[in-house]
Amino acid sequence: MKTVRQAPAWSLRQLLYFVTVAETGTITGAAEQLVISPSAVAAAVEKLEHAFGVQLCVRRKAHGITLTAAGQDLLRRSRALLEEAEELAEVGGGAGESLGGNLTVGCYHTLGPTCLPPLLSAFAADHPRVRTTFTEADQDSLQDGLERGELDVAVLYDMQLRDGVASLELFRTRPHVLLPAGHPLAGDPEVRLRDLAAEPFVLLDSPPSSQDTFSVFRQVGIEPQVRFRAGGLETVRALVGRGLGWSLLVQRPWSDRTYEGREVVVREIADGVPEVRVLLAWSRRTPLTRAARAFARAAPTAFTPSPILSQQSTTTEENR
């Protein structure tokens, strides 16, 4: 017997109003953005609550709204549904020949300078109608964004991934030692971490990079003498360039000069340190949009071969 489908007791417009309320944090803010009356926005949210039989948000005078657990779940689903509706409208309007819609990409902040430019430029060349935005953040914030539906995909390390995150490998890279140009070991093609253990260390203090750094030291059986902790890659490089310590990093900019113009020296680690995988990740709970699927298909080709490993290999050959 054929199933008879029924129209839902809610509309896409109501979902749009609800998403706007969640993103602005207030009924008034949503009304201003949508250019409608606050009463119309409030009525749409109330009708959604009645249709789903749950409370979606808690309204506090002078403090805006706070989503309930049900509201958070509906927000994630609504964003995906509205994205699909926009894509369907484009197809219906005759724009199906080229991909459109929105795409929001997250990226671990130290990976941004080396990963985002090739990814975004290649994707924009193939899909110029997709409106792509990006945000840089730490690993936990990126995974939060994926779970909440705020990010379509994210570029991050294969470290401390949650069960709800799916991924594919973009490339692999290896940690390296960063030394001041005048360091006694700067002329060696490879460096043993034990030979640096007693010297001041500059830590990139940004999880999960910091945890991975300490795990490398545990594998080798040494404890670094942490002198400075920096939250940014270029700050670490600048401190090393000043001769204030050495560091262990994964990301390597093409230039071996700091922002001050001081030279830093990259050397391979002789202790057999394992490679680190860089991934493109997305939430298992939210279906990928057409734009996100296209981005996932194209992303690995932007790093074939890995620009970081290729550069490291070339530098190693030149030093032999």
- Residue at 242 is within a domain: yes
pLDDT at 304: 66
- The amino acid sitting at 17 is Y
Alpha-carbon dihedral sign for residues 194, 198, 202, 203? positive
Q: How far apart (Å, rounded) are the C-alpha atoms in residues 293 and 281?
A: 11
Residue 287 lies in domain? 100-171+277-307
Position 91 in a domain: no
- Same domain for 181 and 267? yes
60-69 contact pairs (CB < 8 A, 24+): 64/25, 64/26, 64/29, 65/21, 65/22, 65/25, 65/26, 65/27, 67/22
**Residue 6 in domain:** no
Greatest alpha-carbon pair distance for the chain in Å reads: 82
Q: Using the 8-state DSSP alphabet, how is residue 6 labeled?
A: -
Choose one of 83, 112, 138: the last residue of a domain: 83
pLDDT in tens, 162-177: 999 999 999 998 899 9
Q: Tokens representing 283?
A: 């939430």
Same domain assignment for residues 166 and 294: yes
Q: For 185-225, what is each residue's pLDDT tens digit?
A: 999 999 999 999 999 999 998 877 788 888 889 988 999 99
Question: What CATH number corresponds to the domain at position 210?
Answer: 3.40.190.10
In a domain, 240, yes or no: yes
Which of the four pLDDT bands, split at 50, 70 and 90, describes residue 133? very high
Residues 37 and 166 in one domain: no
Q: Backbone phi, then psi, for 279, in 5-degree steps?
A: -120, 155
Question: Helical H runs in the chain?
Answer: 12-24, 27-34, 38-52, 69-92, 112-126, 139-148, 209-220, 233-241, 290-298, 307-319
Answer whether residue 196 is part of any domain.
yes
Residue indicated by tokens 């009708």: 47
Rounded CA separation 110/230 (Å)? 12
CATH at residue 45: 1.10.10.10
Residue 319 lies in a domain: no
Are 286 and 261 in the same domain? no
Q: Cα–Cα distance between 150 and 111 in angstroms, integer?
A: 19
Could you read off the pLDDT of 58-98 as tens digits, one per residue? 888 767 888 998 988 888 888 888 877 776 766 554 444 56
Pairing of strands 57-60, 225-230: unpaired
Q: How many domains does the chain contain in total?
A: 3
Whether residue 75 lies inside any domain: the answer is yes
Please say which residue of 53, 83, 113 terminates a domain.
83
Q: How far apart are CA 230 and CA 206, in angstroms?
A: 8
Question: Are residues 282 and 160 part of one domain?
Answer: yes
Domain identity same for 263 and 287: no
Q: Is there a single domain that holds both residue 118 and residue 258? A: no
What pLDDT sits at residue 179? 96
The answer to whether position 95 is within a domain reads no
Note the pLDDT of residue 90.
60
| 280 half-sphere exposure, CB direction, 13 A CA radius | 24
| 299 in the same domain as 262 | no
From 26, 52, 83, the end of a domain falls on: 83
Q: Do 195 and 266 sit in the same domain of this protein?
A: yes
Do both 140 and 286 map to the same domain? Answer: yes
Looking at residue 85, what is its pLDDT?
A: 78
Residues 150 and 286 in one domain: yes
pTM for this structure?
Answer: 0.68
Looking at the structure, tell me whether residues 134 and 250 fall in a common domain: no
- Quick one: average pLDDT of 273-293? 89
Mean pLDDT, rounded, of the chain: 86
Nearest to 67 by CA among 33, 99, 31, 25: 25
pLDDT of residue 290: 85
Cis link prior to 305 (omega < 30° from 0)?
yes
